[in-house]
Structure 1
Amino acid sequence: MAASTALSRNAWVCAVLLLLFLVTSVSALIEGLYCGTQSCYDVLGVSRDAGKGEIGRAYRQLARRFHPDKYQPGVAEESRESAHEKFLLIATAYETLKDEESRKDYDYMLDHPEEYYSHYYTYYRRRLAPKVDVRIVILVTVLAISLFQYYSWWSSYREAISYLMTVPKYRIQATELAKQQGLLNRNKEKGKNRRSKEEIREEEEQIIRDIIKNKIDIKGGYQKPNVSDILICKIILFPYHLCVYVAWHCSWFYRFFLRREEYGEPEKLYLIRRYMKMSQAQFDSLESNQIEEFLHKELWIKDKCEVYREEQEEEMKLKMATDPRWKRYRRWMKTEGPGRLTFADD
């Protein structure tokens, strides 16, 4: 009994001594954080109540004295290497105290030395955090991408219109429409209002260009750009499109799975596009007669669509096997290949 009492007494004594050791070993100044085991206030020679102006003056005085480019060692002063280390410590103290948030964290560390790990987290979070707001960077990046996207689309559209202006088929049709509308009727101009041939030709070219813009149906990558298609508009309208998407699928499930309604033409075209694995832009670029063929063959039925796709693949393979151009291409790939630079006769 006495032995157990003595053992418990010794355990309590060890616990108290360990607690006293831990309490006395906790220091407000931590090696590796801020100014290390020295106080940033003592490094600059100011008190904790000092203002920004006093801290700035103390830093400039010490910097003029210990800066590596201006330091002049005396007889009893530090060497150039120790002065350089002193200057780095002074700069660290100034960077810590000149910022209100950083100074607030440093004063909290001095007043609460027991929160050891919290001080480490606060210090490295502030040092490693980006100096610029990430949200601003993302917004500027999205705006830049959107502007570049819109500009590139307009460039492609203008290139397509310029190319169509050189195609005789479209140019003749546009000229005929302009004549029917009375836009190319050349009246004799007299006096001061008389224009040169170059001005008349430029006006006619602009009329033909405008008719081609209004009448031609350009699809795909060269179609006329739409503001709602750029990235920033898609991001802004994403909640709306998400709600429309969910509502559309709920309506589809209710109409065609629960009520067993018959498919209309829009629904049939949607199923055909999905079974053909085509995007909306690819499907819109198809000719009207091809879409009518899809509807005539009832390709909204999955089995018929798969049979049609297999037939198309077999037809393409047969065409590639019998077409002389494909034969020349396969022979060229077998004998020479794309890695060889030669002059071709055709």
Structure 2
Amino acid sequence: MLLVYSLFLPLFAQPTWALIEGIYCGLENCYDVLGVTRDATPREITKAYRKLAREYHPDSNKDDPTAHDKFITIATAYETLKDEETRTEYNSMLDNPDQIYRHYYRYYRRKAPNVDVRLVLVVTISVISAIQYYACWYRYHEAISYLVTVAKYRNMAIEIAQDRGLFDTGKNKVKGNRGVKEEMKSFKEQVIRDIVAENMDIQGGYSKPDIYCILWVQLFTWPYQRVLDLKWLTLYFVNHTIFKKPLGREQKLYKIRKNLKLSESQFNYLEPHQINEYLDLKLWEKDSFDDYKREKEEEQKLLMANNAKLKKYKRWLKNHGTGRMTFED
């Protein structure tokens, strides 16, 4: 009989290693804290909690230094067992002590503030879009500020301003007033800056901000752009692959961009004369592109062969090697 009891005891007794320190009631069983069984009804749990809360309330046990900690444990046990979902998760922890990380996740997920994921996405995308636009404006103004200091562009801007009569104001005739002179100087600088910004076509990372580069706009226009791309590729396949029609300028540029392995934005930043050169070389044709690529590789090899620093490195590599240490190092 004793043997049978020892065999079936683990099935009814809750092992201490099923409890996890730091969550729920810690290393104490919430049911044992309230003095109830796992089959207790919500009414029995509430009744047991109220009885223990009156007994161990700190105001009623001012002389007992452990009363406060006991009361906190009792309140935690009640908060765990009064809610049906929390009680189910706690029972799952008792029944599945090996799933430690899952219990931690459930516990802290319930403790975390309940925030709508959609709101988080909207705020995140809005912040990213605002940072994008601000960064674009900042880089653009930095580029304009630099171009204003370049003598070539500054002199051209001054000539345009003089031709338009933008410097002709009544304040030019005022003499001896330092404040007016400073104001006039600032006004002229602003005119020069505006003319430079108006006439300069800045490409690349310092180009003028475009609303279509913002993440919000890209997300909204993405389906429309994909439909346009699919339509263009379909027409390209039908007209030039099936019916073998001659390529137009747009189709030639598309094949050139694919051969050069450039993105659409990178290709758009190329200078017009460079694009015309690619068209003259017929780089949309595979043979022409292979010849062009071979010539560029030969030019690169020749350039590297005539590079003084590279020659010096090759001599060092030949005399010393990479795996040898000398006092010259």
Normalising by structure 1, we get a TM-score of 0.66
Percent of matched pairs sharing the same residue: 35
Distance apart, 1:65 and its partner CA: 6.6
* Matched-pair contact (CA < 8 Å) for 1:66–1:86: no
Correspondence list, 1:219-230, <5 A? 219-230=203-214
RMSD (Å), alpha carbons: 4.6
Distance apart, 1:233 and its partner CA: 3.0
Correspondence list, 1:158-177, <5 A? 158-177=141-160
Note the alpha carbon deviations across 1:191-214, whole angstroms, 9 max, x for none: 9x9971111111111111111111
* SS of aligned partner of 1:129: helix
Question: Partners of 1:88 and 1:247 in 2: how far apart?
Answer: 67
Question: Partners of 1:57 and 1:260 in 2: how far apart?
Answer: 90
Note the alpha carbon deviations across 1:232-253, whole angstroms, 9 max, x for none: 3323333333333323322222
Question: Partners of 1:248 and 1:283 in 2: how far apart?
Answer: 18
- Quick check: 256-265 or 157-166, which moved more? 256-265
Structure 2: any 5+ residue segments left out of the alignment?
1-7, 318-329
Partner of 2:58: 64
Question: Partners of 1:57 and 1:178 in 2: how far apart?
Answer: 89
Q: Residues 333 and 197 from structure 1, CA distance in 2 versus in 1: closer, same or farther, beyond 3 angstroms?
A: farther
Question: Partners of 1:173 and 1:124 in 2: how far apart?
Answer: 69
* SS of aligned partner of 1:105: helix
Say whether residues 1:255 and 2:229 are aligned partners: no
Q: Residues 306 and 71 from structure 1, CA distance in 2 versus in 1: closer, same or farther, beyond 3 angstroms?
A: farther
Q: Residues 95 and 224 from structure 1, CA distance in 2 versus in 1: closer, same or farther, beyond 3 angstroms?
A: farther
Q: How many pairs align?
A: 288
Partner of 2:31: 38
The one-letter amino acid of 1:144's match is: V
Say whether residues 1:126 and 2:106 are aligned partners: yes
Distance apart, 1:166 and its partner CA: 0.7
The one-letter amino acid of 2:241's match is: F
Note the alpha carbon deviations across 1:218-269, whole angstroms, 9 max, x for none: 1111111222213333233333333333233222222222332221111111
Correspondence list, 1:201-280, <5 A? 201-280=185-264
* SS of aligned partner of 1:210: helix
Partner of 2:324: none
Note the alpha carbon deviations across 1:103-160, whole angstroms, 9 max, x for none: 03256789x99xx77xx99976631437244724444443333333322222211111
Question: Partners of 1:153 and 1:240 in 2: how far apart?
Answer: 24
Structure 1: any 5+ residue segments left out of the alignment?
1-20, 74-79, 337-346
Q: Residues 304 and 60 from structure 1, CA distance in 2 versus in 1: closer, same or farther, beyond 3 angstroms?
A: farther
The one-letter amino acid of 1:208's match is: I
Question: Partners of 2:202 and 2:296 in 1: how far apart?
Answer: 26
Distance apart, 1:189 and its partner CA: 4.7
Question: Partners of 1:84 and 1:64 in 2: how far apart?
Answer: 5
Q: Residues 327 and 91 from structure 1, CA distance in 2 versus in 1: closer, same or farther, beyond 3 angstroms?
A: farther
Say whether residues 1:148 and 2:140 are aligned partners: no
